[in-house]
Amino acid sequence: MRKPRAAVGSRSRCRKQASSQEGREKRALSSSQAKPSAPDGLARQQEEVRLQAPVSPYHLFRDTAEVTVFRKSLLSWYDREKRDLPWRRRVEGEVDLDRRAYAVWVSEVMLQQTQVATVIDYYNRWMQKWPTLQDLASASLEEVNQLWAGLGYYSRGRRLQEGARKVVEELGGHMPRTAETLQWLLPGVGRYTARAIASIAFGQATGVVDGNVVRVLCRVRAIGADPSSTLVSQQLWSLAQQLVEPARPGDFNQAAMELGATVCTPQRPLCSQCPVQSLCRAHQRVEREQLSASRSPPGSRDVEECAPNTGQCQLCAPPTEPWDQTLGVANFPRKVSRRPPREECSATCVLEQPRALGGARILLVQRPNSGLLAGLWEFPSVTAEPSGQHQRKALLQKLQSWVGPVPATRLRHLGQVCFSLLTLPPGGPHLLSHQADISSIRSGPGRTDPSGHCTTWSSLADPGGVSHRCCLHRHEKGVPCIRGPAARDLQGFQKIPGVHPVQMEKAQRRPASPG
């Protein structure tokens, strides 16, 4: 294991190292400035006009005294109530800045769309296996996928490793030190992750906004408009930057996220335990609504209610969504409408070598390196029309390109599978409803696709899976199905009693061996 750099030395040497690090970042940053970062032309002008619209003071922190009270109350609560989490312990005890940043980076990537309780074990195993950037950079993608198996959203692990290799190979093994350079230079690092690393690892006074912080800020300032809209998102980031404690930015950001995760929860929030309840507009609204029927004349306006001079406030809920007395503070934030499921159909084949050496084996095909479930392994399949016409012919042609001659008479239809996938493209989350016709066939020797498509034969009995794990089981009506966690992905399929997992032997580009 490579030893960390010494933290002592002459001041001139420290200045030289800092200057060298800054120079590397500037050169790398300048080379990446070609990235498009904003719309142009008329669209940009229209967006700027809309974002410059005045915001009611009701949704803001109007003086420094209020901000100071918020910071002090939140940090005092966090110091008493924060959860003991492995990434926090590791960061607190680490003096090497690059290792600190790496430890934060891994935790933040794993925590995206994943619960803390699930992440803890994965994080501990990851840091035990790859404690430094250099260790991760030298690992193979299959090793990364194997450890990540079951955590979901597998592109996260791949991009994390790509980022580690870039730091080692192009940045001299040193993490970028600011949120701006982190976001520009590291693949898969967006605005939130960059600011989380910069504030927690390097002490940069920059605010963060994740799902928990969105909920906290929308309730504290009674923001009822769509939080995913550009206007509201910009306002939330502005509030987060205004509130962050310059002396303890990392602790403050973690405290805001902790508050949203443990107290200011989506349903049944624990308002009585909230350290900033006295500053919460949503809580004030609840109290006002409870008193309004008996003590306020109809149509009267409380001095603490939003009262824009002209028109509808752009941060308030639209008139079409009235206050729901039963929800209380959970009226905020506004629920974002989800896109309808995108339907997709495919013809899938389970191709088996029953007399292979060491036991029966099946054929797995590697998905493309980009797009949905990039680089993972699956049963051979082709996109098909819902009507099912020409599925058999298209599937046979594809199979023959992968493994050679396949007798059409041995292709037997088994049934149909329906499942859902929750994906996170740049445009936002959407649900993919997938329908697959499953067929089976027993075959002899196979081969590599002439186009370079990666295929491999996988043992039904070998427990040493690498990147793709799935299960076949019998439905109540006797139809073979593939089952996985709801609204997640095709990896990490639940093990069902009496069902044998289908797992990879070695995920490498090589010809399929005969059975």
Q: Let me know: does 108 contact 288? Beta carbons within 8 Å.
A: no
Of 387, 421, 455, which residue is a domain's last?
421
Is residue 196 domain-shared with residue 217, that is, in the same domain?
Answer: no
Whether 385 is covered by a domain: the verdict is: yes
Here the CATH number for the domain that contains residue 184 is 1.10.340.30
Tell me, yes or no, whether 173 and 214 share the same domain: no
Residue-by-residue pLDDT tens, the chain, 515 positions: 444 443 334 444 444 444 556 666 655 555 554 444 444 454 444 444 445 566 888 999 989 999 999 999 999 999 999 999 999 999 999 999 999 999 999 999 999 989 999 999 999 999 999 999 999 999 998 899 999 988 988 889 999 999 999 999 999 999 999 999 999 999 999 999 999 999 999 999 999 999 999 999 999 999 999 999 999 999 999 999 999 999 999 999 999 999 999 999 999 999 999 999 999 999 999 999 988 756 655 544 444 678 655 567 889 998 888 899 999 999 999 987 777 777 777 788 888 777 777 777 888 888 887 777 777 778 888 887 766 557 778 888 887 887 777 777 777 777 676 655 443 333 333 344 445 555 555 444 433 343 445 666 665 444 333 233 233 322 222 323 333 322 233 333 233 232 233 333 332 333 333 32
Residue numbers of the domain that contains 317: 208-248+255-293+313-338
Regarding whether 222 and 244 lie in a shared domain, the answer is: yes
d(CA 86, CA 107) in angstroms, rounded, equals: 9
The last residue of one of the domains, among 338, 354, 371, is 338
Q: Domain for residue 511, yes or no? A: no
The enclosing domain of 217 has a CATH number of 1.10.1670.10
Q: Determine which one of 47, 48, 66, 108 is catalytic.
A: 108
Please write the tens of the pLDDT for every residue from 366-394: 888 777 777 777 888 888 776 655 777 88
Q: Which pLDDT does position 413 carry in this prediction?
A: 73
Is 479 within a domain?
no
244 occurs within a structural domain: yes
Give catalytic status of residue 108 as yes or no. Answer: yes
- Residues 136, 230 within the same domain: no
Q: What is the pairing mode between strands 430-442 and 342-353?
A: parallel
Are 283 and 169 in a shared domain? Answer: no
467, part of any domain? no
67 in a domain, yes or no? Answer: no
Whether residues 164 and 279 fall in one domain: no
The pLDDT value given to residue 128: 98
In DSSP terms, 430 is beta-bridged to 423
Q: Are residues 361 and 240 in the same domain?
A: no
Tell me, yes or no, whether 162 and 237 share the same domain.
Answer: no
Number of compact structural domains in the chain: 3
Helix (H, G, I), strand (E, B) or coil at 226: coil
How distant, in Å, are the alpha carbons of 354, 381, 411, 442 from that of 360?
A: 4, 20, 17, 10
If asked whether residues 104 and 197 sit together in one domain, one would say yes
Q: What is the pTM of this model?
A: 0.71
Do 280 and 399 fall within a single domain?
A: no
Instruction: Please check whether residues 330 and 352 belong to one and the same domain.
Output: no
Q: Are residues 330 and 396 in the same domain?
A: no
